Amino acid sequence: MRGLEQAIRDTARELLANGRVRLVLGYREGSVPFRTTPAFIRTPEEVDRLVWNPFCANNLAVYLPAAVGAGGCIAVVAKGCDARSIVTLVQEHQVPRERVVILGVPCTGMADPARLAGADGSLHGTAVTWDGEGTLEVRDAGGGRSVAVRDVLQERCRLCEHNTPTLADEMLGERAPAMPGAAEAFAIVEALAGRPVEERRAYWRAQVERCIRCYACRAACPACYCRTCFMDKTAPRWASKASTADESWMFHAGRAFHLAGRCVECGECERVCPMGIPISALNRMLDREVRERFGYTAGLDPESVPPLGTFRPEDPDPGGSEER
């Protein structure tokens, strides 16, 4: 998989050198060995800063509308989830298809830094090197150890159904094997939905009550591109700024619904949440519902119309009409 990094660099260099794109969105090394940071590469000389490893967690599609808005063609290093986000952006006319070059990277899942922490739960002083395949060498105060990436996957990656990009202009590797939890993507939804309604209410109330309304979920979400979010409006003021359970409930319920039939479950919202709120359990529930009701999966077909933006005259009639 070191080959992937080389392929990313070579392709990026070529695209920049021949003027096909003005910017390449990718990953570069972060300030600690178990993180990467988004890279904005504008010249062929900078291309060697691009990296590929099991810590390329960010969904780079989030930068695409602004980058395209600033002009020119943009190349994006895209994992399966990123590619699906781009499909959504194309579908919703936020990004013209011809202005984006998708550099598809078959993804074998990202490692969760929290699961590399030593016995003391700290990552302070931890050094990590990747062997280029499926193993991480971790060195910390407790000594060195080998960890398989598969054993420390981020949950969203473990459950990923489309780790190989479904749409790419340049595919930079062979199709990656399916992720271990792909078949149980909705297990958390089923577990929650099976509980009594009062328990669900108490559960979500306790979850949203912890929300500090930093809006990191919204900032990290490629589908949250509205210039004015409903939460920022003053008339009507859907919810106040107060981070109480009621107001935050409104935020999370509203945001989840706005992503219905659009969310590709990249899980960025949950990853960036400083309070550990299980945001994607809301999105997954709506995703499951949309698949069942409308037979539609988000982010697969740029030509299709999102299910809430269309209808069929033969759609089922609402329940609750029993005494007709």
Partner 1 sequence: MADKQTARRTAKEQAPAQTAWEPLIVAFLCNWCSYAGADLAGSSRMSYPPNVRVVRVPCSGRVNPLFIMSCFKKGFDGVLVAGCHPGDCHYVKGNYYARRRMPLAQELLAYMGVDPGRIRFDWVSAAESGRFVQVVQSLTEQVRALGPYAVNKARI
- By CB under 8 A, name the binding residues for partner 1: 189, 192-193, 197-205, 230, 238-239, 244-247, 249-250, 253-254, 256-257, 260, 282, 285-286, 289-290, 293-294, 307-308, 311-313, 315, 317-321, 323
CA atoms of 256 and 126, how far apart (whole Å): 36
Query: Using only C-alpha atoms, what is the Rg of the chain?
Result: 21
Report the nearest approach of partner 1 to the CB of residue 321 (Å).
6
**Closer by beta carbon to partner 1, 79 or else 258:** 258
**Closer by beta carbon to partner 1, 5 or else 287:** 287
CA atoms of 137 and 147, how far apart (whole Å): 6
Distance of CA 195 to the CA centre of its chain: 28
β-sheet bridge partners, residue 306: none
**Closer by beta carbon to partner 1, 14 or else 209:** 209
**Closer by beta carbon to partner 1, 98 or else 312:** 312
Report the nearest approach of partner 1 to the CB of residue 323 (Å).
6
CA atoms of 226 and 87, how far apart (whole Å): 17
Q: Are 80 and 164 in contact (CB under 8 A)?
A: yes
Structure tokens at 245: 């359970």
- Exposed / middle / buried, residue 74 (Cβ in 10 Å: 0-12, 13-18, 19+): buried
**Closer by beta carbon to partner 1, 119 or else 227:** 227
**Closer by beta carbon to partner 1, 264 or else 282:** 282
**Closer by beta carbon to partner 1, 259 or else 272:** 259
CA atoms of 148 and 257, how far apart (whole Å): 37
Query: Which amino acid is residue 86, in one-letter code?
Result: I
Q: Are 104 and 84 in contact (CB under 8 A)?
A: no
Report the nearest approach of partner 1 to the CB of residue 92 (Å).
16
Report the nearest approach of partner 1 to the CB of residue 156 (Å).
19
Report the nearest approach of partner 1 to the CB of residue 257 (Å).
5
Report the nearest approach of partner 1 to the CB of residue 310 (Å).
8
Per DSSP, 61 falls in state G
Report the nearest approach of partner 1 to the CB of residue 282 (Å).
7
**Closer by beta carbon to partner 1, 13 or else 218:** 218
Q: Are 97 and 183 in contact (CB under 8 A)?
A: no
Which residues lie closer than 8 Å to 55 by C-beta, 6 or more apart?
Answer: 30, 34, 35, 36, 110, 111, 113
Structure tokens at 222: 């490629």
Report the nearest approach of partner 1 to the CB of residue 264 (Å).
17
Which residues lie closer than 8 Å to 315 by C-beta, 6 or more apart?
Answer: none
